[in-house]
Amino acid sequence: MLLVIGATGNVGRPTAETLLRRGATVRVTARAPERLVDLARAGADLARLDFTDPTSFAPALDGVKGLLLVRPPELSRVEEGLFPLLDAARAAGVEHVALLSVPAAERYAFLPHARLEARLRELGLARTLLRAGFFSQNLLGLYRPGLDAGALTAPTGDGAVAWVDTRDLGEAAAAALMEPTGDERAWTLTGPEALSFAEVAARLSVALGRKIQHSPQSLPRWVAALRAQGTPWEQVAIFTALQLVIRLGGEALVDPTLAQVLGRPARRVEAIADTLPS
């Protein structure tokens, strides 16, 4: 039995869909499992799992040999929030964990992803570290309001991003779970090319058949716009730090591993156009 925790999420859902397509025995979880009835219809076992409710762990972990763990973005204190689940997984006989992480996590011990990677090592669980770059699907979240109005607005300057599609990440996670390693495997997973926001706007204009204008923004205006939407300061700080990282070239690394795992080229950023109105 393979377990996908957080199967309603950006990466969890395509992981579960791929596993089901490939004929694996799969259990999927969410805090409200009724959101997963379509996956149940496709053959998945359903369970409720809430990291804050340890009584939900045992039924979800029963018979599980491998699982996908995605840290919810709002959960930074992983020692309290996610370590208990990992302890329970080991006690329940889970052998392999695929963890959604970030590139070079081991160099940034302050990151929750680094602390999760280290915990898996401490527990002696076999692990695949899915060290994913910046998601193409972020364009459908953080940058979405402008996009719908025909503008890609960001304070990222000429900073390029190796945009990776979460559907590809889901396929890679499924491959990791179906062909587990016995110790540690770290995959840096990025898209096929590094493109600036101006270049993305041009690509999306062609793919959608309507003009998407790149609209550069200053950092203070970016912060003011987020605050005006009611975004809490803590999130504003995280989102703004990310824009700075991009501006400084920190998301530009292109790595060939994803295409090797998939056995085909990774999706280009404009592949998200099929989920946007033309």
Ligand X SMILES: NC(=O)c1ccc[n+]([C@@H]2O[C@H](COP(=O)([O-])OP(=O)(O)OC[C@H]3O[C@@H](n4cnc5c(N)ncnc54)[C@H](OP(=O)(O)O)[C@@H]3O)[C@@H](O)[C@H]2O)c1
Residue ranges in contact with ligand X by CB under 6 A? 6, 8-12, 30-32, 35, 49-52, 70-73, 100, 102, 132, 134-135, 138
Check: CB of residue 265 under 8 Å from CB of residue 177: no
- Give me the count of residues in the chain: 278
Minimum CB separation of residue 33 from ligand X in Å reads 8
Residue number with the smallest Cβ distance to ligand X: 9
**Rounded least distance, CB 210 to ligand X, Å:** 25
Q: Which residue number, 49 or 97, has a Cβ lying nearer to ligand X?
A: 49
Nearer Cβ to ligand X (23/47): 47
| Phi, psi for residue 217 in degrees, rounded to 5 | -135, 150
* Of 153 and 163, CB closest to ligand X: 163
Closest to ligand X by CB, 64 or 70: 70
The least CB distance from residue 84 to ligand X, in Å, is 11
Nearest CB to ligand X, comparing residues 52 and 275: 52
Kindly state the smallest distance separating residue 129's Cβ from ligand X, in Å.
Answer: 11
264 Cβ contact partners less than 8 Å away, ≥ 6 residues apart: none
CB of 41 to ligand X, least distance (A): 17
Q: Compute the least distance from the CB of residue 196 to ligand X, in Å.
A: 16
What tokens does 217 get?
Answer: 């923004």
In the bound state with ligand X, the residue whose beta carbon lies nearer, of 134 and 187, is: 134
